[in-house]
Amino acid sequence: MAKYELPINSRMLKSDFVFGVATSSYQIEGGAEEGGRTPSIWDTFCAVPGKVDNGDNGAVACDHYHLWKQDVAMIAELGVDAYRLSIAWSRIVPRDGEVNPEGLKFYENIIDECHALGMKVYVTLYHWDLPQYLEEKGGWLNRETAYKFAQYADIVSQHFGDKIDVYSTLNEPAVSAFLGYRFGIHAPGIKGNKEGFLASHHTMLAHGLAMPILRKNAPNSMHGLVVNAWPAYAESEKDQFAVELSEAESYHWFVDPVLKGEYPAIVKERYPYDMPMILEGDMAIISAPIDYLGVNYYSRNVVRLNEHNVVEKVVLEDVEKTHIGWEVYPQGLTDLLVAMKQRYDNLPPIYITENGAAGDDSVTDGEVNDTQRVNYFQTHLKATHDAIEAGVQIDGYFAWSLMDNFEWAFGYEQRFGIVHVDYTTQTRTLKQSAKAYQAMLVERAAGNK
């Protein structure tokens, strides 16, 4: 049977390194109209023809809303130390100013069950499912949304306090702000540089406003945020500027304000007319200290500056790609983490909060032979180890995802799970990649006795 091998002295084999699996609310829950939940921007977006492949939506998804108990048991069976999930804002605050006890109870059951089975819980407050009633008031283009987020963070953290082991304010603000409000390919489907940058500033402000609230209500938990990063590589020597701009727009824009208290100059110079209105004090709010940084890594970009002086992604032909078309490039993860350590003197400990591969998996004779994913995890675990050896403090690794789920604009076509989901019967089947994770964790636990 496949098993991931880690170098014998790897810090990742020690019991204080956290191995986990991750999911998010809209991608797995379903129960869209149950338990007092009101629509999010993703319910609205999915209803617009042509926005999501096959017209898919998250109304049922993995039906985790009903199957959560068996899903949590399955997570525990894998032998992981932690489960990373997100809370649907509109289950907790279904209408402005209203708190829904049923929503809180839904997550409380999951959290309690995880703890009862010996796992920690990492909870993200915002994984892109903004309540639709807030979008109707401008969504992230409206500064007020940042304050609404702080109120929501207060409700959740007052209720759960230290029961949530690790809080994340945001997941991948680059995606929610830029894909949603700049490039229009995610909800709410708005296009425009000005809009994208404004949404990003308000999202970062939301993070900063929530930090002291979370610390007050959950003083013994850890607090931070999760960013995604695709390191850039130059197509040729003349493309260094393209590399700098690409990384500055995609992730420095979101990490610099937190760790340096400023937005990167290269972006401000590039888009002088699209910069958001930053009020006095905003940057101090956003740069409140964090306990950890979550980093999501999938692949890299190879870039060049085209004849119009615009950064272009180069499509590589002769490289290995996953079903979604992303290059398999484990070295990028090591390079990224090392580069982060060099860029930020005050880089806090890192969790790899997502890493994984999309496949076109199916069950044959009860088995899912996702060989490519097994290799993907093996090489990326090694890449994580290499970054640790190079001096980066990495405290955990979460596989994306626990199970196949609603992959946003790609619908259900792209399967990222280490567990296969049959969407007709809601049967879960452990893929080879899950079994290999389980086998590695069993061996690690035995070694740590």
Sign, CA torsion 411/413/418/421: positive
Residue indicated by tokens 């999915």: 46
Minimal distance, residue 406 CB to ligand IFM, in Å: 8
Binding site for ligand IFM (CB under 6 A): 24, 27, 172, 228, 296, 354, 400, 407, 416
Q: Please, which residue, 254 or 416, has the CB nearer to ligand IFM?
A: 416
Round to whole Å and give the CA distance between 274 and 373.
Answer: 40
Q: Please, which residue, 296 or 301, has the CB nearer to ligand IFM?
A: 296
Minimal distance, residue 172 CB to ligand IFM, in Å: 6
Structure tokens at 381: 């675990």
Q: Please, which residue, 141 or 399, has the CB nearer to ligand IFM?
A: 399
Q: Please, which residue, 167 or 408, has the CB nearer to ligand IFM?
A: 408
Q: Please, which residue, 352 or 394, has the CB nearer to ligand IFM?
A: 352
Our CA angle for 133, 136, 138, nearest 5°, is 120
Helix (H) / strand (E) element for 226: namely strand 222-228
Q: Please, which residue, 276 or 396, has the CB nearer to ligand IFM?
A: 396
Structure tokens at 24: 């998010």
Q: Please, which residue, 100 or 126, has the CB nearer to ligand IFM?
A: 126
Round to whole Å and give the CA distance between 298 and 291.
Answer: 23
Residue indicated by tokens 């409206």: 142
Q: Are 255 and 344 in contact (CB under 8 A)?
A: yes
Q: Are 167 and 125 in contact (CB under 8 A)?
A: yes
Round to whole Å and give the CA distance between 155 and 151.
Answer: 6
Beta bridge partners of 427: 422
Q: How far is CA 49 from CA 36, 189, 209, 411, in A?
A: 26, 12, 36, 13
Round to whole Å and give the CA distance between 210 and 197.
Answer: 20
Minimal distance, residue 413 CB to ligand IFM, in Å: 12
Minimal distance, residue 379 CB to ligand IFM, in Å: 18
Q: Please, which residue, 278 or 409, has the CB nearer to ligand IFM?
A: 409
Q: Are 315 and 245 in contact (CB under 8 A)?
A: no
3-state helix, strand, coil in the chain (%, to 5): 45, 15, 40
Minimal distance, residue 278 CB to ligand IFM, in Å: 27
Round to whole Å and give the CA distance between 253 and 177.
Answer: 11
Q: List the catalytic residue out of 113, 247, 354, 407.
A: 354
Round to whole Å and give the CA distance between 12 and 55.
Answer: 41
**Catalytic annotation present for 34:** no
Tell the burial category of 449 from Cβ atoms under 10 Å away from its Cβ (0-12, 13-18, 19+). Answer: exposed
Minimal distance, residue 431 CB to ligand IFM, in Å: 16
Minimal distance, residue 255 CB to ligand IFM, in Å: 16
Minimal distance, residue 416 CB to ligand IFM, in Å: 6
Q: For residues 223-247, b (16+ Cβ closer than 10 Å) or e, as one string? A: bbbbbbbbbbbbbeeebeebbbbbb
Which residue numbers are catalytic?
354
